[in-house]
Amino acid sequence: MMKIYALNYAYSVLPEDSVFKGGSPENYVPISFLMYLIKTEDKIILVDAGCETLGGFEMKDLISPRKAVENTGVSADDITDLIITHSHHDHIACARYFKNATVYIQNDEYEQGKRYLKESKRVVTFDDKYTICDGVEVIKIGGHSIGSCIVEIDAGEKTYVITGDECYSRRCLDEHICAGAPYSVENNQKFIEKYSDTDKYVSLVSHDPDYQSEYKVPYSE
């Protein structure tokens, strides 16, 4: 059995037009700041590293991403692998806390974010996809940013998908709405079309205010 934990370290709000196409710039919606922790038989994988400051945002109930990890009974030094979905500050700034982890980041995102990874012992870059271990693969989408990625976790009949910032809200998937301000509208639309299929995919959204804290995932056979 594999377990996935959603680790919340802050809350804030975003204007609707940043969250989904056609939203109002005057209406605000709540968001969470989440990382995801994946425990397998021999790995402890962290998806995104979080941040402790974010210009232009009021981050409520903020705790250090390191503390959010420790609250699961795992130390920062126990993290074996760190997947960075993209190099925006709130997803990579605290990579410095997870010094023992091998870091995985898409090539174009590495160029944007390598200043955050100076203390990382090993960094693996890739173009389109990379298999972290059996059942866990990071895949480039390039909708939110130039090399933004998602993480697929194979659970047999269904696949769990950590969406990064390809969508801020589950509403985008439920209603087939493009994200508010994507780097590539075409790539983001392809993501929405594919992963809105709830018969195949369980989407774990990185800013979902209604997140579930723990998921038990049977290995695929």
Say whether pLDDT at 132 is over 50.
Answer: yes
Say whether pLDDT at 110 is over 50.
Answer: yes
- Please give the model's pTM, rounded to 2 decimal places: 0.95
State the first-to-last Cα distance of the chain, in angstroms, to the nearest integer: 12
Question: CA 138 → CA 50, 67, 125, 165, distances in Å?
Answer: 18, 25, 11, 14
pLDDT band at 155 (very low <50, low <70, confident <90, very high): confident
Superfamily of domain 2-210 in CATH is Ribonuclease Z/Hydroxyacylglutathione hydrolase-like (3.60.15.10)
156: left (phi over 0), alpha (psi -120 to 50) or beta: left
List pLDDT tens digits, range 95-106: 999 999 999 999
**Contact call for residues 37 and 69 (beta carbons, < 8 A):** yes
Total residues found in the chain within this entry: 221
CB atoms within 10 A of CB 154: 16
**Contact call for residues 179 and 20 (beta carbons, < 8 A):** yes
Give the integer Cα–Cα distance in Å for 79 and 45: 6
Q: Which amino acid is at 39?
A: K
Give the integer Cα–Cα distance in Å for 121 and 110: 15
Q: What is the torsional sign of CA 157, 159, 160, 165?
A: negative
Say whether pLDDT at 219 is over 80.
Answer: no
Say whether pLDDT at 200 is over 90.
Answer: yes
